[in-house]
Amino acid sequence: MSTRKPSDFKSELKPIWCPGCGDFGVLASLYRSMADLDLDPTQTVVVSGIGCSSRLPHFVSTYGIHTLHGRPLPVAMGVKLANPELTVIAVGGDGDGFAIGAGHFPHAARRNVDITYLVMDNEIYGLTKGQASPTSQFQQKAPTTPFGNPEDPLNTLAFALSAGASFVARGASFNTKALTELITQAIEHKGFAYIDAMSPCVVFNNTQNLWKETVTDVAPDHDVTDRVAAFDLALRGGFTLGILYRQERLSQTERYQAILEKAKVSDVDTMLNAFNARQGVAIGKPS
């Protein structure tokens, strides 16, 4: 039984988001999930990049690290590897995660870094006032795409699946009950859990009504352990909400624990001995 309430996770700072922003719904879902899981705030770290949604750690009463544009994933990995006891949740937007930070995403996925990655996807750059993002639709008009977006959007769910994410899901800010449940399952998941949280920007790309009308739920008979079926859902288009894929696989934390167990225990003196000039054995490759 949880002893913590969602409001316990609110910080003294009020969100700076515009009225109606989808990120409020995502934040509310995160508070509720944290309470449901009864997370210890002192053992929890929320990591973000730069952007509207990346302000989120400041509004959560846990440890937090508001990093650079595009860098929450490697920072989160460092936090988790340094202290595997911590619950680490990375958050950010679609530009942060899939434009400037896209180089890190497949590596976090294939390493199965034991963190949750919650992307608030509004298909636009909100903080810089509405430019096209990597998830903007083809022909979408934006200040940087006056003739309509000449690029196709990145399919982040298929990207996550192909890179080896072991938990792939989609939620929506306007469906906080379901999103809360997804976040809870993602945090409980062992390994890299990716959630695409559709979170409309009501000022620069108001997709709220369109999305509300088009979302559907993952079919109840969908087998979440079937990666091919997950790809099928991801590639079919449309907005399917729910867990697409879940896989039990060694997390990065477990892999490094295995390395630590395999390594023979040593100390600095022993390491210095290997360079003894009168015995001379340490040149070249480490022995």
Partner 1 sequence: MSARHSVVIRLAGESGEGVISSGDILTQAAARGGYYTQTFRTFPAEIKGGPCMYQFRLSDEPIWSHGKDVDLLVCFNQEAWDLNWDSLGPDGVILYDVTEVTVPEEYLPRARPVRMEALAKEIGGSLRAKNMVAVGAVTGVIEFDTTPIEELVLRRFAHKEGVGQANIAALHAGSDEAADLKGRYPLVPPVEVDEDRMLISGNQAIAIGAVAAGVKYFAGYPITPASDILEWLSVRLPQVGGITIQCEDEIASLASVVGASYAGVKAMTATSGPGLSLMSELIGYAGTAEIPVVIVNAQRGGPSTGLPTKTEQSDLNQALYGSHGDAPRIVMAPVSVEDCFFAIIDAFNYAEQYQVPVILLTDQGLATRLEVIHRPDVSKLTLTPRKTSKGMAREDYKRYEYTADHVSPMGIPGEPNGMYVATGIEHDEYGHPAYTPEIHLNMSHKRWDKLDPLRTEARQAAHGETQPTDVAFIGFGSTFGPVREAIDRLTELGMSVGSFYPRVLAPFPAQAVIDFVADARRVIVPELNFTGQLARLIKAETGIELESVAQCNGLPFTAEAIMDLVTQEVAV
Residues at the contact surface with partner 1, assessed by CB under 8 A: 13, 41-47, 55, 57-58, 61-68, 71, 73-83, 85-86, 103-104, 107, 256, 259-260, 262-269, 271-272, 275-286
In degrees rounded to 5, what are phi and psi of residue 194?
A: -110, 130
CB-wise, 228 or 265, nearer to partner 1?
A: 265
Query: By C-beta, is 100 or 154 nearer to partner 1?
Result: 100
**Cβ contacts of residue 71 below 8 Å, gap of 6+?**
49, 101, 104
Report, in Å, the least distance between residue 274 CB and partner 1: 9
Closer residue to partner 1 in complex, CB, 225/276: 276
Nearest approach in angstroms of CB 280 to partner 1 is 4
Task: With beta carbons less than 8 A apart as the criterion, state whether 199 and 122 touch.
Answer: yes
Structure tokens that stand for 67 in this block? 């990093």
Instruction: Tell the smallest beta-carbon distance from residue 269 to partner 1 (Å).
Output: 7
Provide φ and ψ at 20, rounded to 5°.
90, -5
Instruction: Write down how long the chain is.
Output: 287
Strand 116-121 relative to strand 44-48, pairing:
unpaired
Q: Of the two residues 83 and 225, which places its CB atom closer to partner 1 in the complex?
A: 83
Distance of closest approach, residue 90 Cβ to partner 1, in angstroms:
10
Q: Which two tokens stand for residue 14?
A: 């009020």
What string of DSSP letters covers 117-176? EEEEE-SSBTTTTSB--TTPPTT--BTTBTT---SPPP-HHHHHHHHT-SEEEEEETT-H
Give the nearest distance from C-beta 66 to partner 1 in angstroms.
4
76/234 with CB nearer partner 1:
76
Q: Which is nearer to partner 1, 5 or 210 (CB)?
A: 5
SS3 217: strand
Return the number of other C-beta atoms located less than 10 Å from residue 201's C-beta.
28
231 token code pair: 């790809």
Residue 62 contacts residue 56 (beta carbons within 8 Å): no
Least distance from C-beta 113 to partner 1, angstroms?
10
CB of 53 to partner 1, least distance (A): 15
- CB of 192 or CB of 231, closer to partner 1: 192
